[in-house]
């Protein structure tokens, strides 16, 4: 089946870019719309990103869940990320799902992020954190980094033109990634502390 015969999806969200953001977190691409619980990043209830944030900043993985525990509190997430100076976006702007599911393994990136344009909108950004292997693989086609790339939970210096920044390689927040949410939170906590965001 050719790309033309498969469904091409354009990213349905816009860059979340609080003024003065110092960290840009980049995932791969949102899951299919039927899996969403809100109109924001990491909307799949089975994805643990916002539980990781709850553990890191509040010691409670349910902090950003609604009272009934079935969705995320989007308005509070947006407010919190704005206060902390954390921007959110993805590395793929247009994709084809080879299996029609949310798995990065079956995601073909047809058009990557315009990183120059994105960083131009984030003049205070000093670090990029990729939140999974697909995001890392895509970003590595766009920036200059020493070889080999950083191990999970670590960072290296990276550059795009004359813009230099830290590139953090973080564990995926997908439950398919074989690490407990608590262990993932430890790695994210270290990054936020190093960035002065915790």
| Dihedrals phi, psi of 61, to nearest 5 degrees | -70, -15
pLDDT for residue 61: 97
Q: Show me where the domains of the chain are located.
A: 8-194
Using the Cα atoms of residue 26, residue 52, residue 125 and residue 155 in order, give the sign of their dihedral. negative
Q: What would the two tokens of residue 47 be?
A: 């994805």
- Kindly state the percentage of the chain with pLDDT values over 90: 85
**CB atoms closer than 10 angstroms to residue 10:** 10
Is the predicted pLDDT of residue 130 greater than 80, yes or no? yes
**pLDDT, tens only, 76-111:** 999 999 999 999 999 999 999 887 666 677 889 999
With contact defined as beta carbons under 8 Å apart, do 125 and 165 qualify?
A: yes
Burial of 113 (0-12, 13-18, 19+ CB in 10 A): buried
Least confident of 72-76, 100-104, 111-115, 128-132: 100-104
Which contacts of 143-147 are long-range, i.e. CB under 8 A and separated by 24 or more positions?
Answer: 143/115, 143/167
How does strand 92-97 pair with strand 8-10? Answer: antiparallel
Crossing angle of the two packed helices 74-84 and 49-58, in degrees rounded to 10 = 60
99 Cβ contact list (under 8 Å, min separation 6): 106
- Kindly state the percentage of the chain with pLDDT values over 70: 95
Average pLDDT over residues 34-63: 96
Average pLDDT over residues 21-46: 95
What pTM does this model have?
A: 0.93
**pLDDT, tens only, 134-172:** 999 999 999 999 888 899 999 999 999 999 999 999 999
Instruction: Report the CATH number of the 8-194 domain.
Output: 3.40.470.10
């Amino acid at each position: 089946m050719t790309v033309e015969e498969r469904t091409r999806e354009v990213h349905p969200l816009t860059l979340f870019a609080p003024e003065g953001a110092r960290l840009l977190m980049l995932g791969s691409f949102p899951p299919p719309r039927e899996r969403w619980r809100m109109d924001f990043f990491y909307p799949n209830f089975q994805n643990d990103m916002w539980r990781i944030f709850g553990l890191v900043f509040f010691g409670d993985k349910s902090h950003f869940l609604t009272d009934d525990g079935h969705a995320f509190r989007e308005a509070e997430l947006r407010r919190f990320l704005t206060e902390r100076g954390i921007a959110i976006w993805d590395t793929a702007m247009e994709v084809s799902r080879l299996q029609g599911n949310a798995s990065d393994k079956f995601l073909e990136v047809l058009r990557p992020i315009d990183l120059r344009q994105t960083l131009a909108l984030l003049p205070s950004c000093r670090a990029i954190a990729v939140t999974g292997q697909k995001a890392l693989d895509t970003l590595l086609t766009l920036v200059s980094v020493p070889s080999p790339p950083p191990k999970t939970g670590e960072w290296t210096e990276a550059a795009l033109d004359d813009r230099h920044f830290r590139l953090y390689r973080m564990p995926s927040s997908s439950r398919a990634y074989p690490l407990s949410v608590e262990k993932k939170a430890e790695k994210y906590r270290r990054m936020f502390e190093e960035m002065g965001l915790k």
